[in-house]
């Protein structure tokens, strides 16, 4: 079911959404190239950030074009195959993003709370397992959501289990439980970091290392906070939709959806703002210097 939209509004909408897509793609490409190219950035934490950037890049490449078409033509949810495809890809990538953030919070927990065993507990092998599990579980959740939604459309009654899976269990496992877990982990990290600040009496190098870990944790906690700010309104809408069975206008739903998707655009700016080595890497890439020689071993400041 599609409705026509005034051509001027359509053009302006395409220009605006196209700009968001371009910024999202370019920003996440910078993150991906930086982590792959510069050896200084080859760390377990950055491997998780790399996989998260891939998910964000796919949002810019795939989900944004789908959304541009559906937003401009006012496609009503679940009434078109294109809508289902969009929601499936969107759900997979958003679930993958939050599970990656969950893994990153676990990485930060060991880095700050168990610094002596961090390098043995969180190595590249463990990180690869985290990444594979995150993507696999994302596909599993969305596949189950799709099956339940299809069954729900076919039946007139006795669909309690499918409705429960599609409307309640899906958001719980893909959003609410990971968010609660992350909040608990970051609260624990905050308390431990506060104790470390008060008790550091060691060498300058020890204090510097602890400061670096706390700054890294603060940055990644900001990434999580921005994610919650972008995605919470949409999931809260779904929650109240299940409770009250009331819907809002198409424009409001699409606005909430675009707010959620904008998270994929913001993460690279957060890294650039907090991390000086990402800024240095971005400058070397944008200026084209990496094509003029081998800068992979460069010391990023």
Strands (E), the chain: none
Q: Rounded mean pLDDT of 111-129?
A: 90
Residue 297 lies in a domain: no
CA distance 65 to 87: 13
Q: How many domains does the chain fold into?
A: 1
Give the pLDDT band (50/70/90) at residue 48.
Answer: very high
Residue 156 lies in a domain: yes
Q: Rounded mean pLDDT of 147-158?
A: 57
Residue 77: the pLDDT is 46
Residue 31 lies in a domain: yes
Residue 118 lies in a domain: yes
Residue 236: the pLDDT is 84
Residue 130: the pLDDT is 95
Give the pLDDT band (50/70/90) at residue 301.
Answer: confident
CA distance 224 to 7: 38
Q: Which residues contact 254 (CB under 8 A, 6 or more apart)?
A: 67, 70, 71
Q: Does the pLDDT value for residue 78 go beyond 50? A: no
Q: What CATH number is given to the structural domain containing 146?
A: 1.20.1070.10
Residue 2 lies in a domain: no
More confident residue, 273 or 120: 120
Residue 135 lies in a domain: yes
Q: What angle do CA 179, 183, 189 make, to 5 degrees?
A: 145
pLDDT tens across 218-271, in order?
A: 776 787 788 888 888 888 887 777 677 666 777 787 788 888 888 889 888 887
Residue 37: the pLDDT is 93
Q: Residue 284 sits in which domain range?
A: 7-198+207-291
CA distance 229 to 206: 34
Percentage of residues in the chain having pLDDT higher than 90: 20
Residue 26 lies in a domain: yes
Residue 76 lies in a domain: yes
CA distance 151 to 104: 35
């Amino acid at each position: 079911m599609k409705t026509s939209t005034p051509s001027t509004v359509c053009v302006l909408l395409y220009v605006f959404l196209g700009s968001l897509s371009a910024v999202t793609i370019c920003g996440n490409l910078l993150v991906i190239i930086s982590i792959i190219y510069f050896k200084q950035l080859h760390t377990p934490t950055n491997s998780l950030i790399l996989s998260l950037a891939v998910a964000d890049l796919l949002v810019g490449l795939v989900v944004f074009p789908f959304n541009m078409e559906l937003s401009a033509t006012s496609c009503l949810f679940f009434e078109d195959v294109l809508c289902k495809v969009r929601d499936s890809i969107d759900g997979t990538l958003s679930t993958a993003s939050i599970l990656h953030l969950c893994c990153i919070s676990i990485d930060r927990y060991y880095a700050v709370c168990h610094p002596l065993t961090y390098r043995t507990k969180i190595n590249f092998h463990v990180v690869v397992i985290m990444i594979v599990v995150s993507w696999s579980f994302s596909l599993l959740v969305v596949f189950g959501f799709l099956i339940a939604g299809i069954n729900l459309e076919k039946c007139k009654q006795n669909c309690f289990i499918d409705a429960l899976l599609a409307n309640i269990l899906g958001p719980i496992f893909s959003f609410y439980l990971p968010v609660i877990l992350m909040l608990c982990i970051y609260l624990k990290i905050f308390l431990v970091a506060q104790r470390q600040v008060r008790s550091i009496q060691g060498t300058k190098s020890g204090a510097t290392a602890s400061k670096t870990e706390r700054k890294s944790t603060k940055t990644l906690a900001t990434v999580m906070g921005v994610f919650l700010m972008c995605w919470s309104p949409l999931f809260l809408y779904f929650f109240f939709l299940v409770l009250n069975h009331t819907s809002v206008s198409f424009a409001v739903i699409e606005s909430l959806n675009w707010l959620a998707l904008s998270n994929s655009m913001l993460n690279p700016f957060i890294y650039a703002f907090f991390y000086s080595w990402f800024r240095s890497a971005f400058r070397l890439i944008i200026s084209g210097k990496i094509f003029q020689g081998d800068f992979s071993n460069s010391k990023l400041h």
